[in-house]
């Protein structure tokens, strides 16, 4: 009886059935349209800008070809930004992965208080980079921070003023960024370790392999997908790094800690070089896509099989 009453209207109102068929697409369409315009349309817009002579405002009347890119790669500030990105991303990725893996392996040894320690390692991920920046900026400040503390404890000659030194300032940003993200990498590895099949480990133990060997030869090689995920996440965070630098040094001393994101911002909105700013944004996007696109392709493709 209930079946009859519910199926009846559908049979009668055939035109409505086509509306029902279209409804899913109608629901999805606004989101997809917004993404098409605000992401892909805007990428094209910025792409055009990078070939234009725009200064303070978008200006599509003068075309300068690749001139903005040529000027970009001849500009000392952009070169500084690329060097900083190289230093920052290599150290950030390597140190985060190392700390993350080590902490995960240690935590995986049936540690008492794991439930207490794990949230402590991870909480920095909940903070804004601006908050992290403020904390580390003052903690590393020679006047009141670490140097001052050590000297007041009687180590008079202790000196740590990296944040004020052009050569070293970028490393203080690495310290703060590692502090923020390494717990997250730990969580990724821990999830990976917990997914390892116990049978394999037991078999190796019966064969007389030491714990060290088991980790080196069996478990860590099994973590390859986690390494890959961590690399992708950290690399794309490194290329985007902006807030932390603004909060800690604002690019200083001088231009010593400029990153590509900072360059884009300063040139577009500070120096009225919109064409060059757009070109720098395009380069940033190409760097990220070079990492992300193959990754997503393999992830999505692998799932279908």
Q: CA-to-CA distance for 290 and 121, rounded, in angstroms?
A: 31
CA distance 171 to 303: 39
Nearest distance from residue 240's CB to other proteins, in Å?
Answer: 5
Burial class (CB in 10 A: 0-12, 13-18, 19+), 86: exposed
Q: Shortest Cβ distance from residue 166 to other proteins (Å)?
A: 19
137 versus 173: smaller Cβ distance to other proteins: 137
Minimum distance, C-beta of residue 102 to other proteins, in the bound complex (Å): 8
Distance CA 162, CA 170 (A): 8
Q: E strands of the chain, at which residues? A: none
> Between residues 47 and 168, which has the closer beta carbon with respect to other proteins?
47
Q: At what angle do helices 2-12 and 14-35 cross, to 10 degrees?
A: 80
Nearest distance from C-beta of residue 236 to other proteins, angstroms: 6
Short-list 148, 180, 159, CA closest to 248: 180
* Distance in Å, CB of 48 to other proteins, minimum: 10
Q: Which is nearer to other proteins, 139 or 171 (CB)?
A: 139
Nearer to other proteins, 37 or 90 (CB): 37
* Phi, psi torsion values for 21, nearest 5 degrees: -70, -35
Distance in angstroms (rounded) separating the CA atoms of residues 93 and 82: 16
* Nearer to other proteins among residue 82 and residue 247 (C-beta): 247
């Amino acid at each position: 009886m209930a079946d009859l009453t519910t199926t009846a209207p559908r049979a009668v109102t055939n035109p409505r059935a086509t509306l029902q068929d279209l409804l899913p697409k109608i629901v999805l369409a606004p989101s997809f349209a917004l993404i098409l315009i605000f992401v892909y349309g805007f990428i094209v817009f910025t792409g055009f800008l990078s070939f234009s002579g725009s200064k303070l405002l978008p200006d599509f009347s003068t075309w300068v070809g690749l001139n903005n890119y040529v000027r970009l790669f001849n500009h000392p500030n952009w070169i500084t930004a690329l060097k900083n990105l190289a230093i920052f991303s290599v150290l950030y990725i390597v140190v985060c992965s190392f700390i993350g893996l080590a902490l995960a392996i240690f935590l995986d040894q049936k540690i008492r208080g794991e439930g207490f320690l794990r949230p402590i390692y991870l909480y920095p991920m909940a903070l804004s980079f601006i908050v992290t920046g403020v904390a580390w900026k003052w903690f590393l400040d020679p006047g009141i921070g670490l140097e001052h503390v050590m000297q007041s404890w009687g180590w008079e000659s202790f000196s740590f003023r990296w944040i004020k030194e052009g050569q070293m300032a970028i490393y203080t940003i690495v310290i703060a960024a590692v502090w923020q993200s390494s717990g997250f990498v730990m969580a990724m590895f821990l999830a990976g370790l917990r997914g390892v099949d116990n049978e394999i480990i037991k078999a190796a133990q019966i064969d007389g392999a030491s714990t060290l060997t088991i980790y080196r030869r069996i478990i860590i090689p099994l973590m390859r997908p986690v390494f890959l995920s961590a690399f992708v996440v950290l690399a794309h965070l490194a290329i985007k790094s902006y807030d932390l630098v603004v909060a800690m040094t604002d690019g200083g001393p001088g231009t010593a800690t400029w990153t590509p994101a900072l360059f884009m911002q300063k040139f577009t909105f500070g120096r009225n070089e919109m064409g060059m700013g757009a070109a720098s944004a395009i380069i940033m996007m190409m760097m990220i896509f070079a990492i992300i696109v193959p990754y997503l392709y393999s992830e999505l493709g692998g799932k279908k099989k």
